[in-house]
């Protein structure tokens, strides 16, 4: 038996809290069993919830005020964001001074066709510069990363190392090659 002063508090904790926990857990399990967990990503100060392509509204945008852009007051996307944060997901935050396009500072809006598959970053378009500002910002970021860490495999002993730009050149070659074979109709795999 617990000997906590304030008997009323103890009883209310003992009665209500386990009951509540039970309901939350149950609904979570039920939700889990039927649908695959939605994927939550960040776009500036918004959480983007991806319910997968079979869902009628695939992408939901949840703000920090826990409201979903779809307008449904108890939208499952809000719960998905809660679970994501509970699991230690990164919190959305507004950039300190400038929000929006890193090139011109205009407003941006998400463009899901440009989501980074491997970097898990969100695609967007600039209200003024459109997709070109997104690509410009992306290129700058890659350049910065390369300048800070140019080595893919640093040199060791008598191995000369492999620089990132070596690989870029190789990728560019392949891209040009593909373009050439498309225009001439030559298929190297035939």
What is the enclosing helix (H) or strand (E) of 48?
A: strand 46-50
> Whole-angstrom Cα distance, residue 59 to residue 53?
9
For 124, residues 6+ apart whose C-beta sits below 8 A from its C-beta are 43, 108, 109, 110, 111, 114, 134
Using CB under 5 A, list all residues that contact Zn ion. Answer: 60, 68, 70, 75, 77, 101, 103-104, 106, 126, 128-129, 133
What are the angstrom distances between the C-alpha of 92 and each of 36, 38, 42, 48, 81? 23, 17, 6, 10, 10
In the complex with Zn ion, the residue whose CB is nearer, 20 or 66, is 66
Residue labelled with tokens 């038996």:
1
Nearest distance from residue 177's CB to Zn ion, in Å?
Answer: 33
In the complex with Zn ion, the residue whose CB is nearer, 71 or 160, is 71
Determine how β-strand 39-43 pairs with β-strand 59-62: unpaired
Nearest distance from residue 81's CB to Zn ion, in Å?
Answer: 10
In the complex with Zn ion, the residue whose CB is nearer, 76 or 163, is 76
In the complex with Zn ion, the residue whose CB is nearer, 40 or 77, is 77
In the complex with Zn ion, the residue whose CB is nearer, 40 or 101, is 101
Instruction: Show the CA angle centred on residue 138, arms to residues 136 and 143, nearest 5°.
Output: 95
Nearest distance from residue 100's CB to Zn ion, in Å?
Answer: 7
Nearest distance from residue 123's CB to Zn ion, in Å?
Answer: 14
Nearest distance from residue 115's CB to Zn ion, in Å?
Answer: 18
How many angstroms separate the first and last alpha carbons of the chain? 80
Tell me the chain's radius of gyration from C-alpha atoms. 25
């Amino acid at each position: 038996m617990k000997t906590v002063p304030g008997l009323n508090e103890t009883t209310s904790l003992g009665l209500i809290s386990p009951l509540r926990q039970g309901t939350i857990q149950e609904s979570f399990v039920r939700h889990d069993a039927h649908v695959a967990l939605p994927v939550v990503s960040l776009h500036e100060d918004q959480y983007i919830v991806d319910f997968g392509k079979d869902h009628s509204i695939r992408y939901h945008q949840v703000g920090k005020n826990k409201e979903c852009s779809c307008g449904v007051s108890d939208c499952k996307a809000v719960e998905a964001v809660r679970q994501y944060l509970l699991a230690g997901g990164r919190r959305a935050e507004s950039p300190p001074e400038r929000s929006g396009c890193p090139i011109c500072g205009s407003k941006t809006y998400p463009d899901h066709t440009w989501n980074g598959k491997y970097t898990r970053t969100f695609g967007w378009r600039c209200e003024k510069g459109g997709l070109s500002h997104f690509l410009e910002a992306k290129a700058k970021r890659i350049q910065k990363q390369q300048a800070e860490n140019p080595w893919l495999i640093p040199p060791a002993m008598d191995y000369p190392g492999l620089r990132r730009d070596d690989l870029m050149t190789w990728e560019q070659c392949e891209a040009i090659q593909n373009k050439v074979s498309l225009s001439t109709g030559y298929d190297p795999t035939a």
